[in-house]
């Protein structure tokens, strides 16, 4: 137990979410509890993680969730581990919600994305068909998030583009998509910013500079692709080519990377969306399943195409370093284990003093000075 690496999870505490400030001590080694000396509250080591107050051993939960993240059928897990289906579903829900928070904190940070590819897949649930739209950064293979909707329309794609925007810096960006027209409206709606108004009223929205859109339209005959049309819908061709050269091998407009990722998700979600005694009856459960699979993909799965070679020692012998998308994007410096992901503590935002009329008291002033 190391109090220097832990923060106070109490939302009413002025020190919440801050690490290494000396306010945390060890309350009990036996029960593995910490104490915050500022708010006098104690909390267990697992608070804020997936393992909090679970009756099953963390090792078992980790193994079961790892299997689910790689597409293992639910029936196999129920049979092998002698756990109830509903228990597995509860673990998955916890893990998915936890991963949404991890994603929001670590992945949804502004970065120079270069090229982004987006696509949508049709998922058959027990009594319904839903659409799952996803996006990825090509150069690092980083999964940027997903949205689930009942219709394949502009609202679904707008929600997806808002996720992409949350990860983007206002730098030249190329978005490669399929021939679906609603993408254009969604991208143009999301990538714009209000100009500070000179008069009262709604501010004018100005589109971001450097947003390039390219489409890959596949032509089908009898269920087979017979032709591929590649076109630039927005932005000068020279810059589109430059962005393509920077972020991938060969400079052809394509959606191959996101299609490969879709195939990975299909394979890994198969265990979750299988019909019959399905784990995923509802859209909400699909959403948590997707975030679980996606975050394990980002943080715990090394990619051959992302490995780099390093020379070791004076002999100059080279060896390969495996990297995950999160490592390639500079979010972390090592390959995470699934246990590490499940026990990651997402810090709450820093404390802000409550709004009150009049001047703040001396005690509040002291708290603001130390913790804000
Ligand atoms: Zn506290």
- The DSSP element (H or E) to which 261 belongs, if any, is helix 256-273
41 CA to middle of ligand 1, Å?
6
Count other C-beta atoms under 10 Å from residue 134's C-beta. Answer: 23
CA dihedral 107→108→113→118, nearest 10 degrees, is 90
Listed in sequence order, the residues at least 6 apart from 284 whose beta carbon sits closer than 8 Å to its beta carbon are none
18 CA to middle of ligand 1, Å?
10
Whether pLDDT at 281 is above 70: no
299 CA to middle of ligand 1, Å?
30
pLDDT at 277: 53
Using CA of residue 232, residue 235, residue 236, residue 241, what is the dihedral sign?
A: negative
28 CA to middle of ligand 1, Å?
16
365 CA to middle of ligand 1, Å?
17
- Which string of b and e fits 299-338 if b means at least 16 CB within 10 Å? bbbeeeebeeeeeeeeeeeeeeeebbbbbbbebeeebbeb
Count other C-beta atoms under 10 Å from residue 37's C-beta. Answer: 13
295 CA to middle of ligand 1, Å?
29
pLDDT at 271: 65
pLDDT, the chain, mean? 89
C-alpha closest to that of 298 among 332, 321, 269, 275 = 332
9 CA to middle of ligand 1, Å?
7
51 CA to middle of ligand 1, Å?
21
Phi, psi of 127, deg, nearest 5: -125, 10
351 CA to middle of ligand 1, Å?
11
pLDDT at 306: 87
Residue written as tokens 């597995």? 88
Whether pLDDT at 10 is above 60: yes
207 CA to middle of ligand 1, Å?
43
**CB of 122 within 8 A of CB of 129?**
yes
**CB of 118 within 8 A of CB of 183?**
yes
59 CA to middle of ligand 1, Å?
29
- State mean pLDDT over 285-294: 91
26 CA to middle of ligand 1, Å?
13
96 CA to middle of ligand 1, Å?
27
62 CA to middle of ligand 1, Å?
29
Q: What percent of the chain has pLDDT over 90?
A: 55
pLDDT range class, residue 273, cuts 50, 70, 90: low
339 CA to middle of ligand 1, Å?
26
- State mean pLDDT over 283-302: 91
């Amino acid at each position: 137990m190391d109090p220097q690496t832990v923060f106070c999870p109490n939302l009413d505490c002025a020190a919440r979410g801050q690490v290494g400030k000396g306010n945390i001590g060890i309350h009990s080694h036996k029960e593995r509890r910490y104490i915050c000396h500022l708010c006098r509250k104690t909390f267990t080591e697992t608070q804020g993680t997936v393992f909090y107050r679970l009756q099953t051993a963390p090792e078992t939960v980790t193994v079961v969730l790892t299997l689910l993240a790689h597409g293992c059928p639910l029936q196999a897990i129920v049979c092998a581990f002698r756990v109830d289906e509903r228990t597995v579903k509860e673990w998955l829900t916890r893990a998915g919600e936890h991963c949404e928070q991890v994603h929001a904190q670590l992945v949804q940070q502004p970065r120079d994305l270069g090229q982004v590819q987006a696509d949508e897949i049709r998922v058959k649930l027990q009594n319904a068909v839903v659409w799952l739209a996803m996006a990825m950064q090509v150069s690092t293979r980083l999964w940027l998030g997903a949205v689930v909707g009942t219709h394949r329309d502009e609202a679904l794609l707008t929600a997806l583009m808002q996720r992409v925007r949350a990860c983007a810096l206002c730098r030249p960006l190329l978005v490669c998509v399929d021939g679906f027209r609603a993408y254009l409206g969604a991208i143009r709606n999301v990538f714009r910013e209000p100009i500070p108004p000179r008069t009262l009223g709604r501010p004018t929205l100005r589109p971001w500079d450097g947003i390039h859109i390219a489409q890959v339209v596949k032509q089908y005959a009898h269920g087979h692709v017979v032709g591929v049309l590649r076109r630039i819908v927005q932005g000068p061709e020279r810059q589109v080519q430059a962005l393509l050269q920077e972020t991938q091998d060969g400079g052809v407009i394509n959606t191959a990377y996101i299609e490969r990722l879709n195939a990975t998700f299909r394979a890994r979600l198969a265990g979750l969306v299988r019909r019959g005694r399905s784990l995923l009856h509802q859209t909400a459960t699909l959403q948590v399943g997707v975030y679980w699979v996606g975050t394990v993909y980002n943080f715990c799965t090394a990619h051959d195409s992302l490995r780099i070679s390093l020379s070791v020692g004076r002999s100059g012998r080279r060896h390969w370093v495996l990297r995950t998308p999160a490592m390639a994007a500079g979010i972390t410096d090592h390959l995470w284990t699934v246990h590490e992901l499940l026990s990651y503590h997402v810090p709450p935002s820093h404390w802000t003093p409550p709004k009150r009329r009049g001047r703040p008291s001396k005690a509040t002033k002291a708290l603001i000075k130390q913790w804000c």
